[in-house]
Structure 1
Amino acid sequence: MSTFELTIEAQQENDRIDKVVSSFNQEWSRTQVQIWIKDGDVTVNGQKVKPNYKCGIGDYIQISMPEPVELDVIAEEMSLDIFYEDQDVLVVNKPKGMVVHPAPGHVNGTLVNGLMAHCKDLSGINGVMRPGIVHRIDKDTSGLLMVAKNDFAHESLVNQLVAKTVTRKYKAIVHGNIPHDHGTVDAPIGRDKRDRQSMTVTDENSKVAVTHFNVIDRFKDFTFIECELETGRTHQIRVHMKYIGYPLAGDPKYGPKKTLEINGQALHAGLLGFVHPRTKEYIEFEAPLPEEFEQLLAHLKNR
């Protein structure tokens, strides 16, 4: 364990402790520092404090930086569709059917397993089981994900998600014929009390959720749409489209039992844009629809 010490000076008075400590070393992200503070690895005058503690002149700060934890997740060689990669970030096109990160009882065959074989430098902010993962898409949703290769990049990308400045557009096929060309669903999402594995629109223990959508094409019983996320709640598009009466085709959790013959929901994260953490330039990527999705659209057009 490495130990660092500093004393608060006049220009740092009333600054938050997490800000002061993260500025001590540019390699330490504020998010990681907050974790250290909560774990008691950062103390003020020998006492544990909260990340929002306001520093006073003369405060003695001790930072006991824990040794890095060896990852228990096994690296697996696999073919990954990498759209972009540099020293800080990586953008990958996840295929349908692949889980993003390991979980108890499911520790291999995930995107993270493949990423660990592809590159050894992934951020550790999300812990052993989710290195580098900034945001997720569901197992049966295909499309683009941004991955952080260090804590500096991770904090920047998370802050952009919080500030709602990341562009995330999805293509989807839904049941029913949506009569209007554009729409916005602004409805809070929380855990379903009747089914803890599902999410629902609710005012209890919920978070703000906003989805914008545009109609691309209409078929007899289905509509092809593009959705843009303003927030990123679990199952957000799936829950919101069900809420307004147009559930996703093939969705085993939120859709009707009688649907199109596909495995899982017809949902593709096709466009992803964000400001690069180091260069500060906006970059954007677009992944074409998977072949299965294209075939489904052709089938609907020819019915």
Structure 2
Amino acid sequence: MNQSNEIVSEILEEKIIRLSVGRKIFNRALRNHTFLFGLLIIILFALLAAFPEYIAPHEPTTILSDSGIQPQSTKYPLGLDNLGRDVLSRVVYGARASFIVSFGSVTIALLIGVSLGLISGYVGGIVDIVICRILDAILAFPILLFAILTLALLGGSYTNLILTIGLIYMPYFARLARGSTLSIAKKEYVESSRAVGSSTWRIVTRTILPNIIVPITVQSSLALGVSMLIEANLSFLGLGVQPPTPSWGRMILESALYIRQNLLFMLTPGLCIFITILAYNLVGDGLRDILDPKLMD
């Protein structure tokens, strides 16, 4: 009976500690203006990506004028593009492509990279050597050249874009997870888990993974900005999201010959890319400060 009471007491104490840490993190997030500002911008653009049909004044593929490109006016605040389509509507719908590709690719990179990093760092030996050499081989390729080669062979669909960018960024997550695992695997609490007979799966998922989640979370927020920039570059080269689906990078490509007729045709999608990536970086910097264990106390 006494042993059962002790177990219950330990569980309750652990839950109280977790609640206390969670409350500290939440309070620190509310006081971090950099994080809040970046998060607000991301939420606004995410709303554009999620509900463009309720925000955009027109369908992105609707041709509104046979005369082609037009400068901004009261009826069309950002003007019309070279095919007579509303630029504002295409910018709003273009957020969807950028967000889908960036979040999808980072999710792929995160799942594969962290898994490989945990296996490599914990198992070691020949497994570690093989995984590290594979990662080195991927990193040896220039990022843009690797993406161009892959998409030229597979085509520029959403799925291929997400897989390609995810594969490009996967080694960075793997290396981060491996390095963190190598340092944590030597800690006393990990050795204690081994001593009491915990399985490898339990040690990795319940003991090591929670202790490396902070740097991975920060890296994920920064990776979102990088993946969005890669997608914009590929779309600008004609290898990203294919027309008539609007994409910010593709819009910059389409506007290159019409700067004099409508400057906002090029400037607006470029500013959207800049502001969104800046917001991701602000959130990443804020998370680094919020989740820093040295500042928790």
Q: If the TM-score is normalised by the length of the shorter chain, which range does it land in?
A: under 0.3
Structure with greater proportional helix content: 2
**Which gives a bigger RCO, structure 1 or 2 (Cα 8 Å, sep 6+)?**
2
Length-normalised TM-score, structure 2? 0.27
Q: Give TM-score scaled by structure 1 length.
A: 0.26
The structure with more radius of gyration: 2
